[in-house]
């Protein structure tokens, strides 16, 4: 019988907790992602982001670009998304972002990867069992050039003893 | 291809004055389409955004929206009026998610002009906006600043 697979299974846990975020610790995040033309066009139209640079190739070329430009909000959410398993999947709401800079355009075919450094952490006074952590996250392209960076703050669950 | 007819005539750099507050005409109901598509396409692995079964037993009782979707949609709702004639998005700051957004909520957006200044190129200027997002109950769910490089009318409106 194989019906006991659930009792034999060991959970493979995901995510980190407050205690894992020593100030200065660097995370090189997983996977990377090549931005595609269909995704940036679909993202822009689903979010009603009506700037033709993101879905009209002739318009983008007339402004000096090689073709469609990746919507910067897709660049942001992709770099953010790549960081989630390491930084925030462990639980706790996303509170805010400061000092986000877009350094250069990203084009379909460019590949983004993300890395983050822990800037600050403290225990929450109002949310028992949680701390507040701030990370500096960078999004780099395939030439290792900085495309975007930002500081993100989350409530992060403490490890239960 | 003529460029100027493809975008608006009332949203060049010169059209924005510090203190102006814009109410953007359209709202958008946030469907699982936007929430789950954007969460999964950007490889956000937090299952609170896509596991309804798990979230039914959470304090919220249902899936929570990904904050990146709230930010992108609020800025998107403002985009025709504040980004259509943008040459480049420069940055964001002081982004705050003030209340959770759930599937089926409807978002509306307002924008305030905080600053206008020259850019380092003569055909464009820089505007700093503060965008506000509210839901169907007039609850303030999002706020954040955005800095954008906008075309000036004279060099661009005839192209």
Which residues of chain A from 106 to 145 reach within 8 Å of chain B, CB to CB?
A: none
Q: In this complex, do A78 and B42 lie within 8 Å of one another by their Cβ atoms? A: yes
**A114 vs A3: CA distance, rounded Å:** 41
DSSP A158: P
Domain B10-156: give its CATH code: 3.10.129.10
All structural domains of chain A with their residue ranges: 18-36+70-157
Which among B26, B88, B97 is the nearest to A94, CB-wise?
A: B97
Cα torsion angle, B46, A75, B153, B157, sign: negative
Count of CB atoms situated within 10 Å of the CB of A39: 20
Contacts of residue A16, Cβ cutoff 8 Å, sequence gap at least 6: A86, A87, A89, A90, A156
ipTM here: 0.97
Distance from CA of B19 to the nearest CA of A (A): 22
Is residue A161's pLDDT more than 50? no
Which residues of chain B from 5 to 34 reach within 8 Å of chain A, CB to CB?
A: 6-7, 26, 28, 33-34
Which among A39, A77, A85 is the nearest to B68, CB-wise?
A: A77
Which among A44, A84, A100 is the nearest to B46, CB-wise?
A: A84
Cα torsion angle, A35, A39, A40, A46, sign: negative
Structure confidence by residue, pLDDT tens digits, A11-60: 999 999 999 999 999 999 999 999 999 999 999 999 999 999 999 999 99
Which among B34, B42, B44 is the nearest to A46, CB-wise?
A: B34
Check residue A92 and give its pLDDT: 78
* Disruptive mutation site among A100, A134, A156 for chain B (greatest number of B CBs within 10 Å): A100
**A29 vs B44: CA distance, rounded Å:** 12
The better pLDDT of the pair B62, A161 is held by B62
Indicate the pTM of the whole model. Answer: 0.97
Count of CB atoms situated within 10 Å of the CB of A133: 24
CATH 3.10.129.10 is held by the domain A18-36+70-157? yes
3-state secondary structure string across chain B: CCCHHHCCCCCCHHHCCCCCEEECCCCEECCHHHHHHHHHHCCCCCHHHCCHHHHHCCCCCCCECCHHHHHHHHHHHHHHHHCCCEEEEEEEEEEEECCCCECCCEEEEEEEEEEEEECCCCCEEEEEEEEEEECCCCCEEEEEEEEEEEECHHHHCCC
Q: In this complex, do B41 and A51 lie within 8 Å of one another by their Cβ atoms? A: no
Q: CB distance from A42 to chain B under 8 Å?
A: yes
pLDDT by residue, tens only, chain B of 159 residues: 899 999 999 999 999 999 999 999 999 999 999 999 999 999 999 999 999 999 999 989 999 999 999 999 999 999 999 999 999 999 999 999 999 999 999 999 999 999 999 999 999 999 999 999 999 999 999 999 999 999 999 999 999
Structure confidence by residue, pLDDT tens digits, A28-39: 999 999 999 999
Structure confidence by residue, pLDDT tens digits, A108-151: 999 999 999 999 999 999 989 999 999 999 999 999 999 999 99
């Amino acid at each position: 019988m194989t019906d006991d697979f659930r009792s034999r299974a060991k959970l493979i846990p995901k995510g980190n907790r407050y205690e894992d975020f020593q100030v200065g610790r660097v995370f090189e995040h997983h996977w990377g992602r090549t931005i595609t033309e269909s995704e940036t066009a679909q993202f822009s139209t689903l979010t009603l982001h009506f700037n033709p640079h993101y879905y009209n190739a002739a318009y983008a070329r007339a402004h000096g670009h090689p073709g469609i430009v990746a919507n910067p909000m897709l660049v942001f959410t992709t770099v953010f998304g790549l960081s989630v398993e390491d930084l925030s999947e462990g639980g706790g709401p996303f509170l805010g972002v400061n000092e986000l800079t877009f350094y250069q355009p990203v084009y379909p075919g460019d590949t983004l990867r993300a890395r983050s450094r822990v800037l600050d952490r403290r225990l929450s006074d109002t949310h028992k069992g949680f701390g507040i952590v701030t990370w500096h996250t960078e999004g780099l392209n395939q030439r290792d050039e900085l495309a975007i960076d930002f500081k993100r703050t989350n409530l992060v669950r403490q490890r239960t003893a | 291809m003529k460029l100027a007819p493809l975008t608006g005539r009332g949203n060049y750099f010169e059209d924005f004055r510090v203190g102006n507050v814009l109410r953007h005409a359209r709202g958008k109901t946030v469907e699982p389409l936007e929430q789950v598509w954007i969460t999964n396409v950007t490889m956000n692995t937090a299952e609170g955004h896509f596991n309804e079964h798990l979230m039914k037993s959470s304090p919220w009782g249902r899936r929570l929206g990904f904050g990146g979707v709230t930010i992108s949609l609020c800025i998107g709702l403002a985009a025709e009026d504040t980004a259509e004639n943008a040459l480049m998005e420069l940055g964001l700051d002081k982004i705050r998610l003030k209340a959770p957004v759930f599937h089926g909520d409807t978002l509306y957006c307002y924008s305030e002009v905080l600053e206008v200044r020259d850019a380092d190129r003569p055909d464009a200027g820089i505007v700093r906006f503060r965008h506000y997002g509210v839901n169907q109950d007039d609850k303030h769910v999002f706020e954040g600043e955005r800095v954008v490089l906008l075309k000036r009318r004279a060099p661009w409106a005839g192209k």
